[in-house]
Structure 1
Amino acid sequence: MRIGQTSIVNFLSQIATSVFGFVVTVYLARELGDAVLGNYFLVVSVLVWLKVLGGQGIQMAIRKRVSEGESEGAFFGAGLAVQLAAFVVLAGGVLVFREPLNEYLRTDAAFGLLALLATGLLLWQVRAALEGRHRVALSSLLGPFDRTARGALQIGVVAVGFGTVGWLLGGYVVAELLTGLIGLSLLAIRPRLPTREQLRSLLEYAKYSWFSGIESRTFASMDTLVLAIPAFAISSGQIGVYEVAWNLASVLAVFGASVSTTLFPAISELSSAGEDGIEGLIDDAVAYSGLFVIPGLVGCAVVGRRVLAIYGAEFTRGYTILLVLVAARLLYVYQSQFTNVLAAIDRPDSAFRVNVTFVATNLVLNVALVALVGWLGAAVATATSATVGLVLSYWYLRQYVTIPIPVGELASQVLAAVAMGAVVFVARGFAGAGVAWTVALVAVGGGAYFATLTVLSRRFRATVRRNLPAVG
Structure 2
Amino acid sequence: MSSRLGKTTLVYFLTQVGATLIGGVATWYINFDLGPAAYGEYQTAVASLFALNIPASAIGIAVKKRVSEGEEQGAFLAAGHALNLAVHAVLVAGLLAFRGQVNTFIGLEVAVPFALLVGARAVFDVTVSSLRGYRQVGTSGAVKTLESFVRAGVHVGSLFFLGVGVAGLVYGHGAALVLATLAGVVVLDGRPTGFDARHVRELVDYARFAWLGTLKTRAFAWTDVLLMRALSLSIVGLATVTKTQIGIYRVAWTFASILALVSIAVKESLFPEFSELGVDEDYERVHHYLNEGLTFTGVFAIPGLFGAVAVGDRLLTIFGPEYAVGGGILVLLVAARLVAAYGAQLVNTINAIDYPDVAFRVNLGFVVANVVLNLALISLFGWYGAAVATGAASLVSVALAGYALTRLIGRPDVPVAEIAYQVAASTVMLGAVLAVQRVLPDTLAWTLAVVGLGAGVYTVALLALSERVREKSLGLLPT
Instruction: Place the TM-score, normalised by the shorter chain, in its bin.
Output: over 0.9
Which deviates more from structure 2 when the two are superposed, residues 203-212 or residues 185-194? 185-194
Which deviates more from structure 2 when the two are superposed, residues 273-282 or residues 252-261? 273-282
Deviation of residue 361 (structure 1)?
0.8
Deviation string 1:24-45 (CA, Å, 9 cap, x unpaired) is 2122211210011110111011
Deviation of residue 219 (structure 1)?
0.3
User: Do 2:366 and 2:394's aligned partners in 1 also have CA atoms closer than 8 Å?
Assistant: yes
- Map of 1:31 onto structure 2: 33
User: Do 1:153 and 1:171's aligned partners in 2 also have CA atoms closer than 8 Å?
Assistant: yes
- Map of 1:86 onto structure 2: 87
User: Do 1:132 and 1:265's aligned partners in 2 also have CA atoms closer than 8 Å?
Assistant: yes
Residue 436 of structure 1 pairs with residue 437 of structure 2: no
Deviation of residue 66 (structure 1)?
0.4
> Residue 268 of structure 1 aligns to which amino acid in structure 2?
S
- Map of 2:125 onto structure 1: 124
User: Do 2:275 and 2:353's aligned partners in 1 also have CA atoms closer than 8 Å?
Assistant: yes
User: Do 2:37 and 2:244's aligned partners in 1 also have CA atoms closer than 8 Å?
Assistant: yes
Q: Unaligned stretches of 5+ in structure 2? A: none
Q: CA separation in 2, counterparts of 1:421 and 1:148?
A: 34
For normalisation by structure 1, the TM-score amounts to: 0.97
Residue 295 of structure 1 pairs with residue 303 of structure 2: yes
Residue 181 of structure 1 pairs with residue 189 of structure 2: no
> Residue 262 of structure 1 aligns to which amino acid in structure 2?
S
> Residue 219 of structure 2 aligns to which amino acid in structure 1?
T
Which deviates more from structure 2 when the two are superposed, residues 367-376 or residues 289-298? 367-376
Paired residues for 1:14-53 under 5 Å: 14-52=16-54
Deviation string 1:421-467 (CA, Å, 9 cap, x unpaired) is 11111122233244322221111111011110011111110110111
- Map of 1:350 onto structure 2: 358
Residue 404 of structure 1 pairs with residue 413 of structure 2: yes
Deviation string 1:41-61 (CA, Å, 9 cap, x unpaired) is 110111011111x21110000
Paired residues for 1:51-450 under 5 Å: 51-52=53-54, 54-229=55-230, 230-231=233-234, 232=237, 233-275=240-282, 276-402=284-410, 403-450=412-459
User: Do 1:325 and 1:379's aligned partners in 2 also have CA atoms closer than 8 Å?
Assistant: yes
User: Do 1:226 and 1:367's aligned partners in 2 also have CA atoms closer than 8 Å?
Assistant: yes
User: Do 2:259 and 2:300's aligned partners in 1 also have CA atoms closer than 8 Å?
Assistant: yes
Deviation of residue 165 (structure 1)?
0.5
Deviation of residue 125 (structure 1)?
1.0
> Residue 295 of structure 1 aligns to which amino acid in structure 2?
P
Q: CA separation in 1, counterparts of 2:106 and 2:200?
A: 37
Indicate the SS of the match to 1:228: helix
Q: CA separation in 2, counterparts of 1:110 and 1:102?
A: 6
For normalisation by structure 2, the TM-score amounts to: 0.95
Q: CA separation in 2, counterparts of 1:115 and 1:95?
A: 9
Which deviates more from structure 2 when the two are superposed, residues 142-151 or residues 336-345? 142-151
Q: CA separation in 1, counterparts of 2:170 and 2:446?
A: 34
User: Do 1:45 and 1:225's aligned partners in 2 also have CA atoms closer than 8 Å?
Assistant: yes
> Residue 99 of structure 1 aligns to which amino acid in structure 2?
G
Q: CA separation in 2, counterparts of 1:112 and 1:284?
A: 43
Instruction: Tell me how many residue pairs correspond in the alignment.
Output: 469
User: Do 1:43 and 1:109's aligned partners in 2 also have CA atoms closer than 8 Å?
Assistant: no
Q: CA separation in 2, counterparts of 1:178 and 1:428?
A: 45
User: Do 2:433 and 2:453's aligned partners in 1 also have CA atoms closer than 8 Å?
Assistant: yes
Deviation string 1:70-97 (CA, Å, 9 cap, x unpaired) is 1111111111121112112222332343
> Residue 85 of structure 1 aligns to which amino acid in structure 2?
A
- Shift of the 195–161 alpha-carbon distance from structure 1 to 2, 3 Å rule, reads closer
> Residue 252 of structure 1 aligns to which amino acid in structure 2?
L
Paired residues for 1:446-457 under 5 Å: 446-457=455-466
Indicate the SS of the match to 1:310: helix
> Residue 348 of structure 1 aligns to which amino acid in structure 2?
P
Deviation string 1:241-262 (CA, Å, 9 cap, x unpaired) is 1111111111100100000000
Which deviates more from structure 2 when the two are superposed, residues 200-209 or residues 398-407? 398-407
User: Do 2:278 and 2:353's aligned partners in 1 also have CA atoms closer than 8 Å?
Assistant: yes
Which deviates more from structure 2 when the two are superposed, residues 90-99 or residues 421-430? 90-99
Q: CA separation in 1, counterparts of 2:430 and 2:164?
A: 39
Q: CA separation in 1, counterparts of 2:434 and 2:109?
A: 46
Q: CA separation in 1, counterparts of 2:328 and 2:105?
A: 27
Q: CA separation in 2, counterparts of 1:51 and 1:392?
A: 25
- Map of 1:469 onto structure 2: 478
Q: CA separation in 1, counterparts of 2:452 and 2:19?
A: 18
> Residue 247 of structure 2 aligns to which amino acid in structure 1?
G
Indicate the SS of the match to 1:12: helix
Deviation of residue 171 (structure 1)?
1.6
Identity between Structure 1 and Structure 2 (%): 36
Deviation string 1:320-349 (CA, Å, 9 cap, x unpaired) is 111111110010000000000000000001
Indicate the SS of the match to 1:399: helix
User: Do 2:318 and 2:444's aligned partners in 1 also have CA atoms closer than 8 Å?
Assistant: yes
Q: Root-mean-square deviation (CA), in Å?
A: 1.3
